[in-house]
Copies of this chain bind each other. A is one copy, B any other.
Amino acid sequence: MKTIISAILFFGISLSVSSQTDTLSSDTAGIQRNDTLVLKQIFNTALTSGKSYAVLDHLCNKIGGRLSGSAEAARAVVYMKGIMESYHFDTVYLQEVMVPHWVRGAKEKAFFKSGTDQIPVAICALGGSIGTKGKPLAANIVEVNSVAQLKALANSEVKGKIVFFNGAMNPKHIRTFTAYSESGEQRWTGPWVAQEKGAVGVIVRSLTTIVDKFPHTGSMGSRPNTKGIPSAAISTFHANQLSKTLVVNPKTEFSFTMNCETLADTLSYNVIGEIWGSEKPEEIVVVGGHLDAWDNGDGAHDDGAGCVQSIEALRLFKVLNIIPKRTIRAVLFMNEENGLKGGKAFADSVKSQNQNVIAAIESDAGGFTPRYFVCQTHDERLTKASAWLPLFKPYSIYAFEYGHGGADISPLNAKQTLLIGYRPDSQRYFDYHHAGSDTFDKINQRELELGGANMAALVYLLSEHGL
């Protein structure tokens, strides 16, 4: 496209940040105008001198994957606390959390036999799985496309075999999280059902609609009183290859070796920073993401993006000299991926200290271009938030709608706290989710900064006007 489209003055208002800071005090008669001006300042600053991209670069490329209990997670805690301190928030502190400590160990190996050949395939252990004690586990395969299909089999058809869940994520859903939810059962519940039916191991097709050689890990659901059976994700490319081979030779043998194990629980931390409210400091607006990330990638979209956006939201208040009426608090939760201990510890502390968290915004759907917010309520708080939509439309948010806020904030009391999810575009999310490909080069700077700015804008409106 070359044509110089006649310049549309997208914003009627032209103002410099510095010239307007004097008008940011509360002026009830002028709230609407003030809100418009503050949002413009927030976006101008994010798009010209936002810091979240650089912080995420460090988090991904200098620290990398940071699963709970790992040395990388500990380094991420120290690094992000230091960043918050450098932003001069009113307080920055760590909140203790005991977290599971599962380790992958030496990289997994897997192959299947085709005639006399061994065909290597890419797998990675599912989070929480036991390993194979470093020795190959080999068996014939029973392929199914769902947990229901497995349940319909006689136990004798499963006993002693490796169950291969090959249900593909449904590409027809426009919102890809819907497809993930539908297909997630085979990873979440499948290994336990397979064990009950006598299987010796489980291979799950990666939860992504693209076909490539990256296995996508993720947790199994928890099940008390059993350690389960060795369970791994297989790349979609190799899942297709294996499935085709099974058509020709149903007796194909699969072999895999995994060195993962669960160690003793470890002390870790939520990382928290606050700017105190000037008028109603006891009312708190939370914004957060989760700091832990799977070890096989760098956790760029899941959920480094949400972390850097959350602290950027508070930083924008500082650099714009916006003093919130209510307290605003950034929380980087530990252990979303395999335990949710950070989210639970945070909710426990809110409850035990009788804190009044009026709203909590979570960003855990990637650093992509903005689309909408969801509110986990049908009550008048959704109506109130929706009334702010005209303020957001110039900034690529086109809806406030009902939806699940996010995992980390889910332990909070939803009657007291409005649980809000930031929703960027979801088309690319599962290309990288929980895979080695979730790296910093998949992040676009403008898309990331726009997300943080939209979160800052919503934090501002909540802190200014309450709910």
Contacts and interface: CB of A to CB of B under 8 A. Distances in A.
Contacts of A445: 210
Contacts of A410: 3
Nearest to A127: B2
Nearest to A3: B407
Nearest to A303: B1
Interface stretch (A30-38, A153-161, A178-186, A254-262): A178-186
B171 A48 contact: yes
Nearest to A366: B1
A399 B399 CA distance: 12
A177 B1 CA distance: 10
Interface in A215-232: 218-219
Question: Which one of A47, A174, A177 has the highest number of Cβ atoms from chain B below 10 Å of its Cβ?
Answer: A174
A209 interface: yes
Grouping DSSP codes into helix (H, G, I), strand (E, B) and loop, the A interface class, with mixed when no group exceeds half, is: loop
B178 A7 contact: yes
A287 B178 CA distance: 31
A8 interface: yes
Contacts of A427: 369, 444, 446-447, 450
A218 B5 contact: no
A2 B369 contact: no
What class of interface size applies to chain A in its complex with B?
35 or more
A170 to B, nearest CB: 9
A129 to B, nearest CB: 15
Contact of A5 (B5, B7, B177): B177
A188 B172 CA distance: 43
A447 B426 CA distance: 10
Contacts of A407: 1-3
A412 to B, nearest CB: 14
Given A2-B337, A209-B446, A369-B427, 11 more contacts: A1-B336, A1-B406, A2-B336, A4-B181, A8-B178, A47-B171, A47-B172, A48-B172, A174-B396, A396-B425, A398-B398
